[in-house]
Amino acid sequence: MGVISRYFERLAAMVRPRRAAALPVSADAEGLRIGGVPVAWSDMRRLDVYKRDIYVGDLLCLAILAAEDRVFEINEESPGWKEAGDAIERFLPGSLPRVEWALRLIAANPGDSVAIYPVSKTGSVGQSL
């Protein structure tokens, strides 16, 4: 019965207009807080952004590899997505500026990824923001 009731719960969740609200992400000087789980800036090992193919359209996503091989994934539908991007640029020295990685990501093909931290500096885009 457990499996059947879980199946119907999942079915009901899928039929709802929006199946799952994206986890909120917030940022401060200490680090990111993803769905209530804190990830300190000093724990961040690697950050990549990529486009997920969603059949018609694409979804911008960010994968974070943190200490102890923890991997987090947030996407542009996560509340606080833009603020998190700004905070990464501000608090994570050596990362690509948000405008640059966002542009590179828009320019990329769906399925491709852009490394935003750490990056080997080969010259970045100047901004007049």
Partner 1 sequence: MPGPMCSRELGDDWVDPGTLALTRHRPPVPHGINSCEDNPRAPLTQQILLSPVFRESVQVTDNMAAPMAWDSYWRMAYDRADKVLQAQANELLKRGNITKLEFDNLVKARNTLVEEFRKPLSPFGKQYSEILKPASKLPQPGGLLTKKGSIEAVLESVGKSRAAVNRLSMVFRVAGPGLLVLDITITTVVVMKAPPEQRGRVAAREYTGLGAGVAGGVGGAWAGCVALAALGSPTLLLPVVGEVTEGTLCAVGGILGGIGVGWVGREAGKATGEAVYDFVTTFRWE
Residue 117 contacts residue 44 (beta carbons within 8 Å): yes
* Nearest approach, Cβ of residue 118 and partner 1 (Å): 12
Minimum CB distance to partner 1, residue 72 (Å): 6
Give the pair of three-digit tokens for residue 97: 């500026």
Nearer to partner 1, 40 or 125 (CB): 125
Give, for 87, the enclosing helix (H) or strand (E).
helix 81-91
User: Which of residues 10 and 42 has its CB atom nearest to partner 1 in the complex?
Assistant: 10
And the tokens for 95? Answer: 């990362």
Task: Find the shortest distance in angstroms from Cβ 121 to partner 1.
Answer: 15
Is the alpha carbon torsion for 75, 77, 80, 83 positive or negative?
positive
Footprint of partner 1 on this chain (CB under 8 A)? Answer: 3, 6-7, 10-11, 14-15, 18-23, 25, 34-35, 37, 46, 48, 50-59, 61, 63, 65, 69-75, 77-78, 99-100, 102-104, 106-113, 125-129
Least separation in angstroms between residue 29's CB and partner 1 is 22
Q: Return the exposure string of 83-99: e unless at least 16 CB atoms fall within 10 Å of the residue's CB, then b.
A: ebbebbbebbeebbbbb
